[in-house]
Structure formats: structure tokens, C-alpha cells
Amino acid sequence: MTQHHRAGPLFTDLYELTMTAGYFAHRVLDTATFSLYIRDAYSTRNFFVAAGLEQVLDELAGFRFSDEEIDYLKTTGRFSADFLFFLKQLRFSGDVYAMPEGTVFFANEPVLEVTAPIIEAQLLETFLLNTVGFQTMIASKAARCIHAAAGRPLIDFSLRRTQGQDAGLNVARSTFIAGFTATSNVLAGKTYGIPVSGTMAHSYVGAFDGEKDAFLAYSETFPEQCIFLIDTYDTLEGAKNAVAVANEMKKKGHTLIGVRLDSGDTVSLSQGVRRILDDAGFYDVKIFASSGFDEFKIAKVLSDGARIDAFGVGTKVGVSSDAPFVDVVYKMVHFKDREVRKLSPGKVTLAGEKQVFRNKKTNGYFVEDIIGVRDESILGSEPLLEKVMENGIVLRAHPSLEEIRKRFALNFSSLDEKYKSISDVVVYPVKLSHGLEKLQ
């Protein structure tokens, strides 16, 4: 299923085009390798979850300038007719090495490398940073929530406050990769086949004469899919109304799935609601909670004794609010036949085409990663970057979302708990190989 909205070659910073016009004019057409990685970010994230590769490969495979796009570039008055004619013919003809989506990785490790004629490799920079950076950021944030929820299902509720439309789609996909069970986002359901979830808002309750009427009406329309929102007026009264309607439903052979809290003190209200449900014999009716949840609030309410069975997780995950961007970069590391480093203060780049080798225990547990030279082989370790594109051709079918979810789940279960801390910086060991050190 490849239904990503194509970004197109104008989804780029102008300087990618002016630089490449310069290369073209001076016939700088040699092959370059660029490495995409996240710069040291341990103040907020101990690990990352690779995401975005499917969209990257679709875009690269279809990379070309339309007549309309060339016409626009002409209107800027900046580009020669020869360069525009060159762009018109351009396709992506390079190689891509990348970590598969769902791979757990760490700061400074290349997650994707592009080897191509310098103009092709350069023109992709903005798109690659945007796509891999954002989706990886969200998958990483979602994984932290999964850890905090300790097995309770999480549902993506973020669509209303994601930063735009395809952010909404990609948040649904990236959180699903990290183990969320569903999304409220109907378009993501259609586009990616992700299960969709949702019942009612406060306005629904308000549209009927009373809360009980609203619940009753809903149970008539969706007798097997009822989760009543019980905090429109008073949460505990709402729980009692839910019980009353659940009893009506029972008579007709239907079962209330759950109730949802969306305001107030989650801990005490959830305890009160649990008592009301249990006292009425509805032990299996679940309590859902939403409103402002992220890994921090989930961990807090659970440790304070909240009786919540599942969380709707919205805005704060959908924008990664505690760290709304990652310092993802795409740096030239090899050009013609020499290695390239950048030495600007605080922004050193490791030269050379690379591979990331992961050492594991026999039970699969991650021990350490070694960033090495691409051709190296390190005995007993697993190379994480796979060749996914050669000469512009994608070498394998996209893995399904289920396969990606499984990869993540296996990776995550192999990561020592200490690195999953949502509050402490715990640095996973990432070394450089002797070969890579010698290259610098």
C-alpha cells in the first residue's frame, strides 16, 4: 500500500537548486555520499525509532520535474536554460542504504545514506530530513508512551492538533509502528489500513435533552461499540447514567465496552468510576482516559493509582511537545574518492560511508553498537543498514505495517529497560570501529 502524497522535487530549499545549478555549470557531477543522522540529543531522548523509509523510497522512485515545475523555476529568473533542461531529464539513479522502519537506533548513528551523482543526492536533502526526521521523532515519542503505559492500549487522538494534514497521517502511522492499537484518524484508516476508533464528544451529549438520553440514543445506533463520554456535566453522575444505560443494553443482549473521562482529576475520578461500575456488576466495562496524556502524564497517573484501562493520546504526542523537532542532519561524507568532514564549531561530521553494527547477547538483548566503515565486517554483530535501493531501483517490496510493528516490538523488547527511562538520560554504548577512527 503506497498512498503517500508525493512531495515532488520543489519540496526543497532554494539553495539545493542554486547549489546544484552551480555544480552543473562547473560540471561537478561526481558521485557523493550523504549520511542522515540525528545529532546528539540525549537531553530528551535515549533512543529513536526509525520511520519514514517507505515514503522516502516511493518519492525517490518517482523523482522527476514536471513541465509545470520547470516552468515555475524559469519564472524565478535564476536558472539557465541548460540547467532547466538537465533537471527535466533528471531521475534518481543512486543507491540508498537505510535502517528498516521500526529499528531502534541512537544519536549519531546514520539511519540512511544516499550515494548518487552529487546533484541528485543534494536535491533530496530537504525532503529526506523532513520525512525521516518527523516520522522518526513521532515513532520515538510514541514508544516512550508505550513503555509508560505498561501494556495498556494507546489510541492516537492527535489529528485536530497535529501540525497540518500529512503530519496527522504520519502521526497515525508512526504511533501505530510503535505499538499504538488504533487511531481516531479516518483518513489514516483508509490510507494505511490502521484500525480506527472513536465514539462521541461532549457536543453529542449536549445535543440531547439529557446525558442519559444521549447514551441511550448512541446505544441504539451502535449497540456493540459503545464507549460513553461521562464528563460533560459531572463525571460520577455520568458513570451512574452509563450504568443505567448499560443495564438497558444488557436486557437487549448488548454489552457496554467502556466509559471515557476527558477532564478533572484522572486518579480520583477513575477510582470513583471504577467503584460505581464494579458495584453495579460491570467489572468488564473499561475506563478510557483522554486529555493531555503523554508518557509523563500516563506514568504519573498510573503510579498515583489511576484505574485506567486504555488511553487516548493526542496533542502532546502528535507534536512531540517536549521535543518538537530533532536535530536531524544530512551531511556529505564522501565525494569523488575522498572522505569529507565538516569542522564548524560544535558540528563535527564523521567522514566516510558507514555501517552500524549491533552486538547482541545470545538472548537477543542489545549490548552495544559500533559505527564502522560500510565494507567492514564485525564478527558476530548485525549490520543495521540494508541496501534498499540500487541504481534508482527499490530492491524489495515495502514491508507491511504489521511487519514493521513486529520489528519494532522485537527491537524494543531487546532494549534494556534502563534505556527506556522517560526521565533519566541513560546513554546506550555507541562506539566507533578502528576502521572508522582511522578514516577521520
The residues near 289 (Cβ < 8 Å, ≥ 6 apart) are 260, 261, 262, 266, 270, 301, 306, 308, 310, 311, 312
Size of the site for a copy of itself (CB under 8 A): 96
- Residue 120 beta carbon to a copy of itself: minimum distance, rounded to whole angstroms: 13
Closest CB to a copy of itself among residues 69, 309: 69
Closest CB to a copy of itself among residues 143, 172: 172
AA identity, residue 298: I
Which residues are 156's β-sheet partners? 183, 313
* Binding residue for a copy of itself, selected from 43, 67, 150, 164, defined by CB under 8 A: 164
- Residue 281 beta carbon to a copy of itself: minimum distance, rounded to whole angstroms: 26
Closest CB to a copy of itself among residues 13, 382: 13
* Binding residue for a copy of itself, selected from 101, 262, 294, 353, defined by CB under 8 A: 262
For residues 283 and 286, give the distance between their C-alpha atoms in angstroms, rounded to a whole number.
8
Is residue 434 at the binding interface for a copy of itself, with CB under 8 A as the rule?
Answer: no
The residues near 160 (Cβ < 8 Å, ≥ 6 apart) are 314, 315
For residues 172 and 194, give the distance between their C-alpha atoms in angstroms, rounded to a whole number.
8
Is residue 267 at the binding interface for a copy of itself, with CB under 8 A as the rule?
Answer: no
For residues 231 and 211, give the distance between their C-alpha atoms in angstroms, rounded to a whole number.
10
Grid cell 532494549 — which residue? 415
Is residue 199 at the binding interface for a copy of itself, with CB under 8 A as the rule?
Answer: yes
* Mask for 323-342, x = binds a copy of itself (CB under 8 A): -xxx-x--xx--x----x-x
- Residue 208 beta carbon to a copy of itself: minimum distance, rounded to whole angstroms: 8
- In the region spanning residues 109 to 128, those forming contacts with a copy of itself, defined by CB under 8 A, are 118, 122, 125-126
AA identity, residue 65: F
* Binding residue for a copy of itself, selected from 62, 189, 223, 399, defined by CB under 8 A: 189
Q: Is the dihedral of CA 55, 56, 57, 60 positive or negative?
A: positive
* Backbone Cα Rg of the chain: 25
User: What is the rounded (10 degree) CA torsion for 206, 212, 213, 214?
Assistant: 50
- In the region spanning residues 335 to 374, those forming contacts with a copy of itself, defined by CB under 8 A, are 335, 340, 342-347
- Residue 183 beta carbon to a copy of itself: minimum distance, rounded to whole angstroms: 8
- In the region spanning residues 7 to 26, those forming contacts with a copy of itself, defined by CB under 8 A, are 7-8, 10-19, 21-23, 25-26
Is residue 29 at the binding interface for a copy of itself, with CB under 8 A as the rule?
Answer: no
- Residue 46 beta carbon to a copy of itself: minimum distance, rounded to whole angstroms: 20
* Binding residue for a copy of itself, selected from 44, 206, 382, 406, defined by CB under 8 A: 206
Cα-based distances in Å from 108 to 48, 105, 299, 323, 391: 11, 9, 28, 17, 27
- Residue 53 beta carbon to a copy of itself: minimum distance, rounded to whole angstroms: 16
Give yes or no for a contact between 406 and 97, defined as CB atoms under 8 angstroms apart.
no
Grid cell 459531572 — which residue? 234
95-103, 142-150, 155-163, 398-406 -> range binding a copy of itself (CB under 8 A): 155-163
For residues 90 and 23, give the distance between their C-alpha atoms in angstroms, rounded to a whole number.
14
* Binding residue for a copy of itself, selected from 61, 84, 90, 217, defined by CB under 8 A: 217
* Binding residue for a copy of itself, selected from 46, 108, 140, 197, defined by CB under 8 A: 197
Is residue 160 at the binding interface for a copy of itself, with CB under 8 A as the rule?
Answer: yes
- Residue 65 beta carbon to a copy of itself: minimum distance, rounded to whole angstroms: 11
Is residue 281 at the binding interface for a copy of itself, with CB under 8 A as the rule?
Answer: no
AA identity, residue 399: P
Closest CB to a copy of itself among residues 17, 287: 17
Give yes or no for a contact between 367 and 360, defined as CB atoms under 8 angstroms apart.
yes
Cell of 246: 448499560
* Binding residue for a copy of itself, selected from 103, 232, 241, 355, defined by CB under 8 A: 232
Cα-based distances in Å from 43 to 91, 105, 322, 423, 424: 40, 16, 11, 10, 9
